[in-house]
Each structure stands twice: as structure tokens, then as C-alpha cells.
Amino acid sequence: MSKINTTVGIGALLILQGIFLMPAHAASTARSGQRVLMIEMTPALCSMQPTRARMRQCLEGYSLTVSGLDMGYGERCGRGSEPRLTPLQLKVVNRIMPDTTVRSQTWQRYGACSPFSASSYFRQITNYAGALKLPKELNTGNSYTVSKSRFISQMTRLNKGMSSASVDLICQAGSRKQSILTDIHVCYEGSEFGSCPNVVDSCGSRFIISGGE
């Protein structure tokens, strides 16, 4: 896999890659249009959680994947329902959410609680992901130690209208107790960037971006 030397949108980033918790407070977040796009750092999670080893994104070497979109309508009201997507839309969604179980759980946890159909819900996800730009360090296949302030500065510079309050970084402790970036939550107010309503911010001042090598 060749390294990416320019910053690209997340949708394009995942295509170039080779096909590519936060509790909601239903009344307030739904009324205000808050959305939280949840992105997972795939190499880090595949390495730290052995139960993921057989997931498609781990087997195929994805750099990152989308794990869900909290639209603020409540959680876990799908009661086992499966999202129904056309073959064409499924092909598009597969680029950023390749695992069938993850798509199903995301729909049951967040999408089925909303007034949107499965097709509309996953279109929201692909629209947000397609427009988002991420630092190139996330797609080189190498591991980096980065400062939180520099990473957030890159994010806000790359995405017009984004502030530092629009990004919540989630880390876990690695085998040597270093902070390893596992998730990025990007928060929106409708179609614009907004402020994250429930911040985890567990990475400290410096953290590792794992390339999986």
C-alpha cells in the first residue's frame, strides 16, 4: 500500500486504502440537531482487542472505519431489526463500514430510534464521512507519537468551520501504558460542525497513532 502524501477526505481516504459512546440525550440533542460521527482507529483496536481479529477491517488492513452516527434520538430501540439497503448503497457504505455486524448494531442502537429510514440514516453517515478531512498520519501505515494540540490544530485547519470543541479524542492504554488513539468523535449541529455535548477527552497531551505494523 502506497503512502498518502496529501490530506484527503475520509471517504476518499478509505477508498484509496482499498475500500475503505457517547450517550445520547434524546430530547435536547434531537431538537438541537446534534450529531456525533464516530470513527475507529482500526489498527489500534484490532491489535488491542483480539476478539476483533476476524473482522473484515482487521483482515484487510483498513486504516480507519466509521463505527456509527449518534443522531440524538435515543439508543437501542431497534430490537433486532436489520437495516435494508439497496445493493448500490451497500457498496458505498461498505467502504467505510465493512463489517455487517457493526452496521446492524449501529442501526439498532442509533438509526432505528430516529425518524429516518435505514437508507436515509446511512446516507447521513456517508455524507458526513465523505466531507470530513483527516490528517495524513492516519493513513500512512506507520505509527506516530503526536501532540494533542497539533493534531486538533490540523483537524480544524483542514475542515472549515470546525473548532477544537467539535472533536473528542478517545485513547486507551497500550501494553507499555502509552495512550493510543482508538476513536475520534466529530460533532455536528445539523450540517455544520458543532460542539461535542459529552466529552471523553482521554488522550492527554500526547498519544500514539498506531499504524498496525
CATH of the domain at 106: 3.90.730.10
C-alpha 63/C-alpha 8 separation (Å) is 13
d(C-alpha 199, C-alpha 112), whole Å = 24
- Domain membership flag for residue 128: yes
Domain that holds residue 42: 10-209
**Is 1 domain-assigned?**
no
Residue from 43, 40, 105 nearest 78 by CA = 105
Q: Please list the alpha-helical segments (H only) found in 49-186.
A: 56-59, 87-94, 100-106, 118-131, 148-158
pLDDT of residue 165: 97
Q: Is residue 163 a part of any domain in this protein? A: yes
In-domain check, residue 116 = yes
pLDDT in tens, the chain (213 residues): 333 333 445 554 443 333 333 333 333 344 458 899 999 999 999 999 888 888 999 989 899 999 999 998 878 787 777 899 999 999 999 999 999 999 999 999 999 988 999 999 999 999 999 999 999 888 888 888 999 999 999 999 999 999 999 999 999 998 778 899 999 999 999 999 999 988 999 999 999 999 865
User: What's the pLDDT at 177?
Assistant: 81
For residue 172, is it within any domain? yes
Cross-strand pairs, 144 = 209
Provide the pLDDT for residue 141. Answer: 82
Q: What's the number of domains the chain is made of?
A: 1
Which 8-state DSSP code applies to residue 198? S
CA 208, CA 186: separation in Å to the nearest integer? 19
Residues, the chain, total? 213
- Per the CB < 8 A criterion, the answer to whether 19 and 98 are in contact is yes
Q: How far apart are CA 110 and CA 38, in angstroms?
A: 12
Q: What is the model's pLDDT at position 213?
A: 55
- 188 and 160 Cβ atoms separated by less than 8 Å: no
Query: Is the residue at 139 inside a domain?
Result: yes
Q: Within 13 Å of residue 183, how many CA atoms lie on the same side as its CB?
A: 19
Distance separating alpha carbons of residues 213 and 211, to the nearest angstrom: 6
179-189 and 34-41 beta bridge pairing: antiparallel
2 within a domain of the structure (yes/no): no
pLDDT of residue 5: 35
pLDDT given for residue 23 in this prediction: 33
